[in-house]
Structures are given as structure tokens and as C-alpha cells.
């Protein structure tokens, strides 16, 4: 396999045999990964559908499969990449290492020049979070619909609206569940910067800010990202929406990345003794301080 452009290492609270079955059982894959899936080892490993980048039909070619490793070529919008899953025992759990090579540059992804091809790494971040929740018997985070220009998702979190809102705007709290430095000025007109103000001195600001209820971020290119909270049976129903973009080129990479963060946010509030599931995430070309990193 080529040197990976994307590397994700996560601890999953399930035996390696259970993780392997979830990675290779088509019925399981159709729950946590994709709308459609077909697996016939050692000949075929395929997934496609509206929840898969460039998923109108399957574009995978199995390269290798054994009891601990699965690797396949995956062509997305004409670009062939190479993906590998590797499983290692870790006490009662499993360390899943996922790597992918031959991805677009980070600069092209940020500039929305990579389309669905640019969403493959954040697609995997969300998928692995949903894999962990699937194996734990927890509700899954909504997937990205790569056929729709509507970027909207709703989840229920077992915590009060005040606690959830604080975890979205308090830099210390955000840094814990997101695993990356974020500088935030929590008021209308205040700045919000992934990686810190040194990396992004003022490109994102709060267009709306109603403590405990609603906030909207405005990006320099006009993109709006909002969340609205309401109490729900002792918990919080939270709706996330992104708007203000070119409907012919939805920002799927960022939306998938945000939804993977929502999965972490849910776990942060709901799991007793929570600790980050990511051991490490690395993306080629990402500036220091921007990428999540929970190296054990």
C-alpha cells in the first residue's frame, strides 16, 4: 500500500472477532456504513448508495483479506485510492487502524475543488464512529446523503440543553470531545477558529448566539452552520443545518467531518467514564493544531 494520506486509529469496545464480522457482514454494513453492500470473501467487497461518495454504483476492488486485515482499491470520481482496515487485540477491545492513500490535497478540499472525492476521509471518520456505536448497541449518528443538497441532521443527546450548548461553545469543552484546539469567543459577532486564532484569525464569526438555545456560524465564503436546541424528555434534541453554499457543489467533506464530531459529542455526554475513542488521526497537509490527535 502507498504511504497513507489519511490514517485513523480508534479503540472499539468489542472483541476483534465482532469487529471483523461487522466489517464483513453485508447486513451489518448496510446499518453502519452504506445503503447497499455485498461481501463474498476473498473475491468481493463492495458498498454503494446515497450514503457513499460517488455511490451510484460500487467502485471497490478487493486486494486482500485475512482474519485481521482487509484492503481494497476504491475509485471515487475517477480517482483510485487504496483503503486498508487492520485489527489488533487491545485487552477486551480492539484497535482498528484505517488508512487510505492517494487522496486529494488538503488545500483542494478546503477550497471545495475536490467534490465527493474530498469527503472520503471525513466519510471514514463518521463511519468508524458509527461502527463503534453499532457494536455498543447505541443509536447511530445520521450519515451524509451524497445525493442531496440539503445538509440537515437531528440527534437526541442525554444531557440538558444548557450542558450541550456549553459543550459546543466553551473552548475547553470543545477541545475535549473534538480532540483539537479550538479558540472561541462565545457571543454574537465573536470569532470561532479551528486550530486557534493564530491559524485562522477571523474567518468564522457567530452570526447568531442565543445561550442555551441557538447559534449560527458564518464562514468567510458565506457558508452558514447552525445548531438549535430544545429539551426532549430530559435530554436535548439538537438540529444541525448548513446553508449558504452553491447547491451544485455541497460542502460534503466538512459536513461529514461535522457529523463525525456530533458522534463524539454524543458519546462525551452519554458514556460513563468517557474517554476519546480516537488514538490517532492524521491527514496529510493538515497544519499543526488543526487535526484531531489522541495518540495513546
Query: What is the rounded CA–CA span in Å between residue 62 and residue 34?
Result: 17
- Give the pLDDT score at 3: 63
Query: What is the rounded CA–CA span in Å between residue 183 and residue 5?
Result: 26
Give how far Cα 168 sits from Cα of 180, 191, 226, Å. 13, 14, 11
Q: Are 21 and 39 in contact (CB under 8 A)?
A: no
CB atoms within 10 A of CB 284: 16
- Give the pLDDT score at 287: 45
Strand-pairing partners, residue 46, are: 38
pLDDT mean values, one per 10 residues, the chain (296 residues): 77 95 98 98 97 97 96 94 95 93 66 70 94 96 96 96 96 89 95 88 90 95 95 93 93 92 94 71 46 43
In 3D space, the residue among 19, 102, 33, 115 whose CA is nearest the CA of residue 68 turns out to be 19
**Cell 464562514 belongs to which residue?**
219
- Give the pLDDT score at 281: 52
DSSP 132-171: HHHHHTPPPPPPP-TT-S-EEEEEEESS-HHHHHHHHH-H
- Taking the model in full, what pTM does it have? 0.89
Amino acid at each position: 500500500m502507498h504511504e497513507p494520506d489519511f490514517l485513523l486509529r480508534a479503540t472499539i469496545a468489542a472483541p476483534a472477532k465482532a469487529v471483523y464480522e461487522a466489517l464483513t457482514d453485508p447486513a451489518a454494513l448496510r446499518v453502519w456504513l452504506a445503503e447497499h453492500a455485498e461481501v463474498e470473501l476473498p473475491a468481493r467487497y463492495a458498498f454503494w448508495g446515497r450514503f457513499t461518495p460517488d455511490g451510484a454504483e460500487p467502485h471497490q476492488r478487493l486486494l486482500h483479506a485475512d482474519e485481521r486485515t482487509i484492503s481494497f482499491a476504491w475509485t471515487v470520481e475517477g480517482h483510485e485510492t487504496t483503503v486498508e482496515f487492520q485489527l489488533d487485540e487491545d485487552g477486551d477491545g480492539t484497535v482498528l487502524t484505517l488508512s487510505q492513500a492517494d487522496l486529494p490535497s488538503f488545500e483542494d478540499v478546503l477550497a471545495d475543488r475536490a467534490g465527493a472525492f474530498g469527503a472520503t476521509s471525513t466519510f471514514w471518520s463518521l463511519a468508524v464512529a458509527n461502527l463503534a456505536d453499532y457494536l455498543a448497541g447505541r443509536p447511530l449518528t445520521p450519515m451524509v446523503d451524497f445525493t442531496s443538497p440539503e445538509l440537515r441532521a437531528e440527534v437526541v443527546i442525554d444531557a440538558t440543553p444548557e450542558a450541550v450548548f456549553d459543550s459546543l461553545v466553551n473552548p475547553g469543552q470543545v477541545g475535549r470531545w473534538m480532540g483539537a484546539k479550538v479558540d472561541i469567543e462565545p457571543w454574537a459577532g465573536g470569532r470561532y477558529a479551528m486550530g486557534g486564532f493564530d491559524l485562522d484569525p477571523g474567518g468564522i464569526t457567530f452570526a447568531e448566539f442565543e445561550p442555551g438555545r441557538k447559534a449560527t456560524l458564518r464562514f468567510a465564503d458565506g457558508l452558514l452552520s447552525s445548531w438549535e436546541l430544545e429539551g426532549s424528555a430530559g435530554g436535548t434534541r439538537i438540529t444541525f443545518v448548513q446553508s449558504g453554499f452553491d447547491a451544485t457543489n455541497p460542502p460534503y467533506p466538512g459536513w461529514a467531518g461535522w457529523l463525525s464530531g456530533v458522534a463524539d459529542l454524543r458519546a462525551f455526554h452519554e458514556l460513563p467514564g468517557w474517554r476519546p475513542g480516537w488514538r490517532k488521526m492524521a491527514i496529510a497537509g493538515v497544519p499543526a493544531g488543526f487535526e484531531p490527535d489522541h495518540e495513546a
